[in-house]
Structure 1
Amino acid sequence: MIINTTAIKCGIVASCVFASGVLYAAGFSGRQALTTSVLKVCADPGNLPFSNDKLEGFENRIVSLLAERMQLEVRYTWFPQTVGFVRNTLRLRECDLISGITTTSERVQNTNPYYRSVYTMVYRKDSGITASSMDDPALKTLKLGVVAGTPPATVIARLGLLGHVKPYHLVADTRRYSPARQAIADVGSGVTDVAFIWGPIAAHFAGLSEEELTLVPLVNEDKSVRLDFRVSMAVRYNETDWKHQVNAVLKELQPQINSILHEFSVPLLSDRGQLISK
């Protein structure tokens, strides 16, 4: 999944036409309608919990649902979700769909969102920490892990806590290094006391930790810095008919999509910004 760094630093209905396993999609750079039996998707080969080349991520699962409903075969183009991802995949027509991107992105045409999540505070359950928000006074005495350039980093700066921070790189080649995974591991090993990580990632890596960790979705924070984001799929600009088709199927499949997200323990928010229980 791509989180728009522009938003970070400041921080699905239409008709479908399916027939005999063939999708008719219009609007490709002004050309006539395309006919294809393949759903071409661009995704990261090593970016769990979102996607990997073993198809173990929740985006992989959701794409499979989409393709089954459309009666299409899925074909992936793999590329690490780092600098140049959109430019080297969707824009070069290596695929027709990106499976996960924040709706604030200006580099693509977003579908309607299929989930909304939030940044999460993570600490060891046996640490004695009881913080439930970023302005808890206890954080002034703790070592904090945060990915540089993300919304929690902005909040930490405003709270005057930068002197307590262990930073992690925002941009990384996920084939070699996961900043969020390292941040979670550091909480488990005691290098840091608390980490602030994007909710789906925090839930995934906390679940893999040998230490029992507490996760607190940051839903009660000062709204001057946005900590929650809606996530959609993405198509190229001027492919509005294709977007509408994807939107219609996403709407139809939303209950199944929600089940997959809950299976991966993704913290989900309602349209009103309230945490949705499983």
Structure 2
Amino acid sequence: MNRLAALLAAFVAVPAVSLQGTVDRAFAQTSDLVSSSEFRVCADPANLPLSHESGSGYENRLAELFAGKLERPVAYTWFPMATGFVRNTLRANRCDVIMGYAQGHELVLNTNHYMTSAYALIVPKDSTLSDVKTLSDAALKGKRLGVVAGSPPASHLARNGLIAKAKPYNLFVDRRVESPAVDMLDDLRAGTIDAAVLWGPIGGPLVKSDFPEFQLTPLLQEENPPRLFFRITMGVRPGEKVWQRKLNSLIRRNRTEINAILLDAGVPLLDDMGTQTLKGD
């Protein structure tokens, strides 16, 4: 996701200064941008299984959970999750939180993570590849894999001599007109590819809801970089530490309910080190 800052002067993190009062006033100004009457969410209107304007995505359910804890209604700002998303939503002060954001991205201030998940290999349940757990497995030699171009698994395919036959799918798209994950799984069903490599929080729910003949195996045993598991946070504007701490508290106190929503959706949840899957309570 390419994201650029708009209204930079209003939203950059406050630099270190010697006068505490100046710092306090600066943080107060950014915190004042957060609505006290609504839980304002920046979201893609057509990004199932994550978010949708109908409210049917699991990120919509997470938003409802958090809004309920804050005793506020959810209010959405819809914008395609592509170039300009942060600039036209969070940084433009049209909303206050992005529900799912990879830890460490510089365009937002990350909350604590609320889930850890991984890329996964998806194959038919009756496939000869059903026991494969790594992209270096010899069973994949000569097979055609689907992979999102530019995603971390593509590096593993290249290292293991699988990229020449791989079928690439677009990374940056407007999901209102193109759905790479669904297209990839449709191709797997049609036999155009032999296996699909997808981000688990997308692939897992799609397999559960629309492709029950497939199995999903999180890629937890890769020994070489890049890593294939990531911690997912919520994103807020840089400088909004008070809001960040409030969301951190909600994440900590409602972990069981958060996990229940994610597991019910079919998201493969991992421990914080990305070494094993988690089960429901």
**Partner of residue 250, structure 1:** 251
**Partner of residue 68, structure 1:** 68
1:199-232 C-alpha deviation (Å, 9 max, x unpaired): 0111122224456112110001124211000111
Task: Give the secondary-structure state (helix, strand or coil) at the position aligned to 1:243.
Answer: helix
Separation in 2, partners of 1:40, 1:77: 7
Mapping 1:104-183, distance limit 5 Å: 104-129=104-129, 130-183=131-184
1:39 aligns with 2:39: yes
Cα contact 1:111–1:232 (8 A) shared by 2: yes
| The 10-residue stretch of structure 1 (127-136 or 179-188) with the greater mean CA deviation from structure 2 | 127-136
Quote the sequence identity (%).
41
Separation in 1, partners of 2:32, 2:77: 24
Task: Report 1 or 2 for greater relative contact order, CA contacts < 8 Å, sequence distance ≥ 6.
Answer: 1
Q: State the Cα distance separating 1:128 from its structure 2 match.
A: 2.2
Separation in 2, partners of 1:55, 1:35: 21
Cα contact 1:40–1:95 (8 A) shared by 2: yes
**Partner of residue 277, structure 1:** 279
**Partner of residue 198, structure 2:** 197
Number of matched pairs: 256
Cα contact 2:144–2:162 (8 A) shared by 1: no
Cα contact 2:64–2:74 (8 A) shared by 1: yes
One-letter amino acid of the counterpart of residue 154, structure 2: A
Separation in 1, partners of 2:122, 2:48: 18
Separation in 2, partners of 1:44, 1:50: 9
**Partner of residue 13, structure 1:** none
Cα contact 2:31–2:241 (8 A) shared by 1: no
Task: Give the secondary-structure state (helix, strand or coil) at the position aligned to 1:232.
Answer: strand
1:48 aligns with 2:48: yes
**Partner of residue 18, structure 1:** none
Task: Give the secondary-structure state (helix, strand or coil) at the position aligned to 1:246.
Answer: helix
**Partner of residue 7, structure 2:** none
Which has more strand, going by share of residues? 1
* Cα pair distance change 1:33/1:91, threshold 3 Å: closer
Mapping 1:77-92, distance limit 5 Å: 77-92=77-92
One-letter amino acid of the counterpart of residue 60, structure 1: N
**Partner of residue 14, structure 2:** none
* Cα pair distance change 1:88/1:3, threshold 3 Å: closer
Separation in 2, partners of 1:152, 1:237: 30
**Partner of residue 229, structure 2:** 228
Aligned Cα RMSD in Å?
Answer: 1.9
Q: State the Cα distance separating 1:277 from its structure 2 match.
A: 2.6
Cα contact 2:143–2:162 (8 A) shared by 1: no
**Partner of residue 9, structure 1:** none
Q: State the Cα distance separating 1:250 from its structure 2 match.
A: 1.5
1:72-96 C-alpha deviation (Å, 9 max, x unpaired): 1110000110111001100000101
TM-score under structure 2 normalisation? 0.86
1:215-260 C-alpha deviation (Å, 9 max, x unpaired): 1100011242110001111110111011101111111111100000
Unaligned ranges ≥5, structure 1: 5-25
One-letter amino acid of the counterpart of residue 48, structure 1: L
Unaligned ranges ≥5, structure 2: 4-25
Cα contact 2:142–2:162 (8 A) shared by 1: no
* Cα pair distance change 1:34/1:189, threshold 3 Å: closer
Cα contact 1:146–1:167 (8 A) shared by 2: yes
TM-score under structure 1 normalisation? 0.87
Separation in 2, partners of 1:269, 1:32: 36
**Partner of residue 27, structure 1:** 27
Task: Give the secondary-structure state (helix, strand or coil) at the position aligned to 1:27.
Answer: helix
